[in-house]
Amino acid sequence: MASLEISALSPTERPTGAWAATLLHALARDEAAGRRPPRLTEPRLATWSRFRGRLTATDLVALLFEDAAVLHQVPFDPAALGGPLRLDNLPDEVAERWLHAIAALDLKAPGSEYIPEQARLLGLPTKLARSELHMVKPHQRVLELPGTGGQLAHHILSTQSGLTLQDNFVIACGSWEEQTLAGIVALDRGAPHTQFVEKVDVAELRDPAHKLRQRSFDFVVGLHPDKGGLFRVEDQLAIWFSGTRIVLV
C-alpha cells in the first residue's frame, strides 16, 4: 500500500516527517470519506493554488493541522505529544511533493490495511494476533496498554458492533508515535474527539495510585512480551488489574 515517502529526510527531519506524512494521509482519507471538506483532495489543489500567495506547502500543512487540532488535539497539536516534532524541520520541497503525491494514495483502502501501514511508518509493531481478542459488550470498558497505539481498539471496532472509541476504550500511549497512531485510529473511526487517548509514563504504572490503576476495566489488552510488549500477566498485570480479563496478543 502506497504512503508518503520519508526516506529522503535526514535523521533530524525524520520524526517530524513521519508524523506529518501519516497525518496528511489521515486527513486526505477523512476528506475522501466525506467527514471534512476537500482541501488536500481538491482537484489540482485549486483553492490553495488560488489563494496561497507567498505561503509555502509547509504553511498549508501547519494550517490544516491547526484546524484539525480544534477537535483532535491528539494527534495534530505537537505540544500535546511531546517529542522532536517541529514543522519548521519539514523541508518545503518535501511538503510540496507530498501534496501532489496524495492523488496516488488509495484513500478507500480497508482499515485492516491502512492502520498497519500507518503504524509501520511510525515505527510501531504490527504483527499482532488480533484474532485472539475477545468479544466486547456495549456496556464494557477496555484498556489498551502502551505499545500498540490503538491498533487493537481499531480491530475490535471493525469486527464488532455497538461500540465506540469514546465510550468503550481508553488507549494508553507511552510515546508520541503511539499517540499519533491512536489519533489516526480516532479519525478513521469518526470519533468526535481523542479524550480517550491517555499519555502514560510506563514506569509510573508501577505506582498503585496511578490513575489508570484506579479505574475499572472489563478487559486489558496489549502486546505480548514475546513480541516486544512491556508487561507480563503473571508478574504485573494480574496484580495491577485484579479480576480483569487480560489478553496479550
CATH of 130-248, one of 3.20.20.60, 2.40.128.20, 3.40.50.150, 1.10.3720.10: 3.40.50.150
Write out pLDDT tens, residues 28-81: 999 999 999 999 999 999 999 998 999 999 999 999 999 999 999 999 999 999
Which pLDDT value is given to residue 142? 98
* pLDDT more than 70, % of the chain: 100
pTM of the model: 0.96
Strands (E), 55-202: 142-144, 169-173, 197-199
Which pLDDT value is given to residue 96? 96
Residues 241-248 have a mean pLDDT of 95
The answer on pLDDT for 83 being more than 90 is no
Write out pLDDT tens, residues 118-163: 999 999 999 999 999 999 999 999 999 999 999 999 999 999 999 9
Query: Residue-wise over 132-166: b if at least 16 C-beta within 10 A, else e?
Result: ebeebeeeebbbbbbbbbbbbbbbbbeeeeebebe
Q: In the predicted model, what is the mean pLDDT of the chain? A: 95
Any idea where the domains of the chain sit in the sequence? 14-109, 130-248
Residue 120 near residue 127 (C-beta atoms within 8 A)? no
